[in-house]
Chain A
Amino acid sequence: MSSNAQKKLTPAQLEYQAFVKKREPKRPVLKNCLRAFLVGGIICTIGQVFQWFYMTYFDFTETSASNPTVATMIIIAVILTALGVYDHIAQFGGGGSIVPVTGFANTLASAALDHRSEGFVLGVGGNMFKIAGPVITFGVFAAFVIGLIAVVLRGLGGS
């Protein structure tokens, strides 16, 4: 893509691009990854505490406990977002705060809060899934395709 665009540029523009590239701050990949690992790991460990709680005090198995665990994490993330705390976590954690399901809840809640001024139906209702929508859309479509393939394969297997 970039080599295609480069062909149309004048030499001066090319020179400038090289100049910009040199000056551009390097992304601190290692530091970001360490932070993401730390924050993501801590969020998952908190989730594990809830999972342990649901497994010990209610009758959930290892796999079925993940359902209420995820719901609990989402509720906490929504509250933290509403209080403005999650933004600070996200600033430090980067991917570590986006990848866990709490990041998904954060995008929902922050979109809902941000568009509140446009009214509850069009603002909150209409914009809630603006950022979180792609995840659901692609997740559902991928699940549909994979489900179809699996069913067809199973049918061919004659079971």
Chain B
Amino acid sequence: MQQFIFSFLIGGAICVIGQLLMDVFKLTPAHMTVTLVVGGAVLGGLGIYEPLIQFAGAGASVPISSFGNALVKGALGEAERTGLVGVLTGIFEVTSAGISAAIIFAFLAALIFKPKG
């Protein structure tokens, strides 16, 4: 039960950061998501994001910042096994499920549905 509360609080807090970036710093949604992704990547590189996921579960892994973290995690994990080239080959290792699912299902949706106003 506690996990659900923490994921609500942390997930909500990350979304508030995004909202503040848009409202107070006047960023467009695209700039805001890019900022969060790069922020997540930096936190992932510093090794801070992984404990956050352990603590908040989906509250940390569902926001887009975890995408940046997952990219770094994939790159570093593969680099550990195969050396410097691993940074290139490993980047999409962890995020493959998310990106593949998004592409496949978005394409299927475009095949089946007509745009709704």
Binding site for B on A (CB under 8 A): 27, 29, 32-33, 36-52, 62-63, 66-71, 73-75, 78-79, 81-84, 87, 93-96, 98-105, 108-114, 116, 120, 124-125, 128, 131-132, 134-136, 138-140, 142-144, 146-151
Q: Is the CB of A40 within 8 A of B45?
A: no
Q: Is the CB of A71 within 8 A of B87?
A: no
Q: Is the CB of A63 within 8 A of B42?
A: no
Which chain B residues border A74 with CB–CB below 8 Å? 98, 101-102, 105
Among B3, B18, B24, B65, the one with the most A-chain Cβ atoms within 10 Å of its Cβ is B18
Q: Is the CB of B19 within 8 A of A140?
A: no
**B33's closest neighbor in chain A, by CB?**
A135
Q: Is the CB of B8 within 8 A of A139?
A: no
| Assembly CA distance A46 to B41 (angstroms) | 24
| Assembly CA distance A38 to B15 (angstroms) | 9
In the complex, B48 has a CB within 8 A of chain A: no
| Assembly CA distance A39 to B65 (angstroms) | 17
Q: Is the CB of A44 within 8 A of B12?
A: yes
Which chain B residues border A42 with CB–CB below 8 Å? 8
**B65's closest neighbor in chain A, by CB?**
A99
Within 8 A of A (CB), among B69-117: 71-72, 74-76, 79, 83-84, 87-88, 90-92, 94, 97-103, 105-117
| Assembly CA distance A94 to B45 (angstroms) | 29
**A132's closest neighbor in chain B, by CB?**
B102
| Assembly CA distance A142 to B39 (angstroms) | 9
Which chain B residues border A148 with CB–CB below 8 Å? 84, 87
Q: Is the CB of A71 within 8 A of B15?
A: no
Instruction: Provide the main secondary structure of the chain A interface.
Output: helix
Q: Is the CB of A79 within 8 A of B109?
A: yes
**A93's closest neighbor in chain B, by CB?**
B15
Which chain A residues border B18 with CB–CB below 8 Å? 36, 40, 95-96, 98-99
Write the nearest CB–CB distance from B8 to chain A, whole angstroms.
4
User: With A40-B16, A82-B113, A150-B76 given, is the CB distance from A139 to B62 under 8 Å?
Assistant: no
Partner pick for A66 among B20, B53, B74, B114, CB 8 A cutoff: B53
User: With A81-B109, A100-B15 given, is the CB distance from A68 to B45 under 8 Å?
Assistant: no
User: With A70-B62, A140-B91, A151-B79 given, is the CB distance from A99 to B53 under 8 Å?
Assistant: no
